[in-house]
Structure 1
Amino acid sequence: MAWEPPSPDHAEALGLAPGRPTLIHRYRYATADGRGLRTAVTSFSAVALAEVEEPALPHCLSGVGGTLIRDRADGTAAAHLRRACDWMRRAGLTLHHRDAITRLMSTPSVRVTRRVHDQYARPLEFTDLVVDAQQGALIYEFTLPGRPPTPSGV
């Protein structure tokens, strides 16, 4: 995790001035045999950072980058960015996610672009995730508002 200027597309999506640093996390994962590569870049907006108490940042954002997927198709490894989302919810924000899944023509991979905004339509987070579609699986879990999530397979 580092403070750095985001890419132009992240800056535009988050309403940041070009070259303005923000908190960015880069995630890279490969299976033991080197295949099944996943990469993710998550950038946070100035609004999101203003809502997060500074001492909470290292704790709630640890492991950022796995928000969209589980490490294994059987669901035994938890998604990492949930901690950041949980913290933002505790701060009184209602989070809305919009994911776009596109196939990359030059490789057997898919790109998932996630935009997160709050109840006031303010951008909070932007993530680009690339998954090797031959080796990985995307698993989405949906819960009803006000209901706790149930374990997978129940």
Structure 2
Amino acid sequence: MAEPEPEHAAVVPLYLRVAAALRSDLTDRQISPGSRLPSERSLAHRYHVNRQTVRSALQLLREERLVVTDRRGTFAAGTEHGPRVPALTAHRQTFPGGTEAADALVRASLAWEAPPAATAGRLALAPGEPTLVHRHVVLSPGGTSLQRSVSWFSRPAVAEIPQLARYRRGGNTVPQPDLRLLYHWMHQAGLRLTRRESIAVPPASATGVGDGTARLVVHRVVCDQHGHALEITDIDFAAHGAAWTYEFSG
């Protein structure tokens, strides 16, 4: 079985090194699909870490749909008859992008633009300084906008997350990008996230998506472990509901 790299090999969190070792075993089929993984205690002993580190590594692999955990233990995913990884749930947030609806009903793009002045400062950008921006629109079969979102990324986010850094040269619009795994990429880059979302019902007179009957607007700020903003997203969608604000770390 693959072992984590020595402590001096890379300055990355221990749980990421354990996850990388297990991921290699899973993808190389050294752990057979559907088979049960060793216990947390055994994995902690094997990799010379504590059990909380093992739990964090397994949680990341669950989010990547490589393993699934039930009351019997943790199993390698990917067989017809073995345990299946559940679909995305409310507690496992994904970035609002990708082809979750039919391709004809989703419009998404990445571009390199300067954000509004109020947003630039929060993202550690100088006024007028361009950064990566993601736009995502979900349309009804009749062409009505059901959901719109726009996300601005900070300079540290573009620099430290490899999957975003490839767009650093920017300039051109990238059609139909799929960034649903963005938050997993952030974890893989060693970033510990705090997400704060303010959700409200705007006045009926405000313009937006839907048919004008009911809408929700969401303002999301994702920060790293130092409190630096990585991403700011505004989402506007047709819905029926109330308003609330919640905050959690992961």
Give TM-score scaled by structure 1 length.
0.67
1:94 pairs with 2:94: no
- 2:152 partner amino acid: S
What is the aligned partner in structure 1 of residue 117 from structure 2?
8
More helix by share: 2
Pairwise CA distance, 1:7: 2.0
Q: Determine the C-alpha separation between the residues in 2 that align with 1:36 and 1:51.
A: 33
Q: Determine the C-alpha separation between the residues in 2 that align with 1:102 and 1:13.
A: 21
Of residues 196, 215, 218, the one that matches 1:112 is 218
Change (3 A) 1:103 1:2: same
Identical amino acids, percent of aligned pairs: 37
Change (3 A) 1:55 1:36: closer
- 1:20 partner amino acid: E
Higher relative contact order (CA 8 A, sep 6+): 1
- Unaligned segments of structure 2, at least 5 residues: 1-109, 168-175, 207-213, 242-247
SS of residue in 2 equivalent to 1:49:
helix
Q: Determine the C-alpha separation between the residues in 2 that align with 1:98 and 1:15.
A: 18
Any conservation in 1 of the 2:159–2:165 contact (CA below 8 Å)? Answer: no
What is the aligned partner in structure 1 of residue 233 from structure 2?
127
Any conservation in 1 of the 2:194–2:249 contact (CA below 8 Å)? Answer: no
**How many residues align structurally?**
119
Change (3 A) 1:52 1:33: same
Pairwise CA distance, 1:45: 0.2
Pairwise CA distance, 1:31: 1.6
- Unaligned segments of structure 1, at least 5 residues: 65-79, 137-142, 146-154
